[in-house]
């Protein structure tokens, strides 16, 4: 079930608002039940996997607390990590490893055909962070299974993040409240996210699908496609994160921000401080820092960056283009740490910004390619090495057709609209304009969804 679907917006979500009349002692139980139902509608078979994951880390947390500062606690931590990574490995990477082995060895081992459970990359990282933080003493153990399972299964952030650590909402699990202002802000945030997803990302997705279905392509259209996809994945994922954060506020939870206008960055380092921030923070705190971070010798420091980015690429998908994508960013970040970063600091802002956007567009061409062969095909097309025309009539037609959408997306990816809104619109006008704007977004988005428009979610099965 997608947040941007009619069944969620007009059936499931209104039902969850019974939360406000449920007695306080049953609120977590209610959220747990509706969250399991939400997951069941999209993944009926694997809801048992979600329950199993909750039970595993709940019991491991209790065991770690009971035997704190002993070898048994460390064994329990290692057990939790192995089980979580084992689940991720079995369901996400088994066929990838079999395919790779078959390709390299010439063997014909049959694929398992295991389908990827929705959201497994997110909820396994969340449950792992809990046991690690309990072991480190950074989080208090949760003695109530219902409360812990509510944290793991909470439907706003269950299938696509943000990656919410237990420490982010530790106090709110059992002690939270809602008020009119919080509910209003939650509705506003959800609506903005819905607009980003349906009215911008989906239309950009249509352009990308049109490009993939064309026989007559050109160098210019390859670049338009790469730009459109970069913007699509931003509005798709940041819109979904906005919806998740807004939904969390409706129930008294405050999830961490996940995006902060990444396309205004002036270096790749800055870009990754602004893009998918909860994932970056997770790898920093649970991989990079334990490896020594930057407080080690230069070779080990560069090794740490390389490990983190290979894992980041691998986390995104079981295909070699994702590994290449992670390695690509790892190399660039290493170069920035060594010497490019100093040059970027001295360079005019426009130069550093153009450099960053150029790299980001190429990176998402790698990300969205169909395997390594697809990477080669797309990059050759972008750089005029495929005997394609620079531009043709089909490219001109679609560029003109989607030009307004691309301009809107480019402007909306910057803080400019928000800054103009804050500076030019008075508070009295905002009191009227915001509710009207929210209603218009909901009506327009609903019309687009009912019309059967393109409505995928790119991170849905990560």
Cβ(333)–Cβ(273) under 8 Å? no
Residue for token pair 């002690």: 175
How far is residue 34's CA from residue 31's CA, in Å, rounded to a whole number? Answer: 5
Q: Which position has the token pair 């205004």?
A: 264
Query: What are the two backbone dihedrals, phi and then psi, of residue 419, each rounded to the nearest 5 degrees?
Result: -65, -45
Is residue 235 within 8 Å of residue 204, measured between CB atoms? Answer: yes
Packing angle, helices 219-250 and 202-213, rounded to 10: 150
Task: Name every residue whose Cβ is closer than 8 Å to that of residue 19 and which is 6 or more positions away in sequence.
Answer: 27, 30, 31, 250, 251
Distance between CA atoms of 351 and 459, rounded to whole angstroms?
31
Cis check for the bond before 162: say yes or no (omega within 30 of 0): yes
Catalytic member of 60, 254, 276, 316: 316
Distance from C-alpha of 418 to C-alpha of 422, rounded to nearest angstrom: 6
Q: Phi then psi for 298, rounded to 5 degrees?
A: -55, -45
Confirm if 158 and 43 have CB atoms less than 8 A apart: no
Cβ distance 100 to 94 under 8 Å? no
Q: What does the alpha-carbon distance between residue 94 and residue 292 come to, in Å, rounded to a whole number?
A: 30
Cβ atoms 456, 205 nearer than 8 A: yes
316 part of the active site:
yes
**Which residues are designated catalytic?**
316
């Amino acid at each position: 079930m997608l947040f941007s679907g009619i069944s969620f917006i007009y059936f499931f979500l209104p039902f969850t608002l019974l939360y406000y009349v449920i007695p306080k002692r049953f609120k977590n139980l209610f959220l747990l039940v509706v969250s399991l139902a939400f997951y069941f509608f999209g993944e009926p078979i694997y809801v048992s996997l979600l329950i199993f994951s909750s039970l595993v880390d709940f019991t491991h947390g209790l065991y770690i607390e009971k035997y704190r500062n002993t070898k048994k606690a460390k064994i329990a931590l290692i057990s939790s990590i192995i089980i979580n990574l084992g689940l991720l490995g079995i369901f996400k990477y088994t066929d990838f490893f079999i395919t790779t082995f078959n390709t390299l060895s010439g063997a014909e081992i049959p694929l398992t055909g295991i389908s990827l459970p929705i959201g497994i990359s997110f909820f396994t990282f969340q449950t792992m962070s809990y046991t690690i933080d309990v072991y480190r003493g950074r989080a208090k153990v949760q003695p109530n299974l219902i409360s812990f399972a509510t944290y793991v299964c909470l439907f706003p952030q269950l299938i696509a993040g943000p990656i919410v650590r237990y420490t982010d909402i530790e106090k709110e699990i059992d002690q939270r409240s809602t008020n009119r202002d919080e509910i209003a802000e939650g509705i506003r945030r959800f609506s903005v996210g819905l607009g980003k997803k349906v009215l911008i990302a989906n239309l950009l997705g249509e352009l990308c699908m049109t490009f993939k279905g064309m026989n007559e392509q050109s160098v210019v259209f390859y670049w338009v496609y790469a730009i459109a996809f970069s913007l699509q994945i931003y509005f798709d994922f940041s819109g979904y994160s906005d919806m998740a954060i807004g939904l969390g506020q409706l129930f008294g939870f405050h999830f961490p921000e996940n995006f902060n206008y990444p396309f205004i960055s002036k270096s790749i380092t800055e870009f990754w401080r602004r893009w998918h921030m909860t994932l970056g923070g997770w790898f920093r705190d649970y991989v990079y820092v334990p490896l020594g971070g930057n407080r080690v010798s230069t070779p080990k420091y560069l090794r740490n960056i390389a490990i983190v980015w290979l894992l980041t690429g691998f986390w995104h998908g079981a295909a070699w283009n994702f590994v290449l994508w992670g390695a690509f960013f790892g190399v660039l970040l290493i170069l920035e740490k060594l010497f490019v970063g100093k040059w970027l600091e001295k360079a005019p802002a426009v130069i550093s910004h153009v450099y960053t956007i150029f790299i980001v567009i190429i990176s998402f061409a790698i990300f969205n390619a169909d395997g390594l062969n697809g990477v080669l095909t797309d990059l050759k097309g972008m750089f005029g090495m495929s005997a394609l025309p620079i531009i043709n009539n089909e490219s001109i037609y679609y560029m003109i057709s989607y030009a307004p959408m691309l301009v809107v997306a480019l402007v909306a990816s910057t803080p400019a609209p928000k800054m103009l809104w804050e500076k030019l619109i008075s508070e009295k006008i905002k009191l009227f304009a915001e509710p009207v704007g929210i209603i218009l977004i909901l009506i327009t988005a609903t019309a687009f969804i009912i019309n059967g428009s393109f409505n995928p979610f790119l991170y849905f099965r990560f």
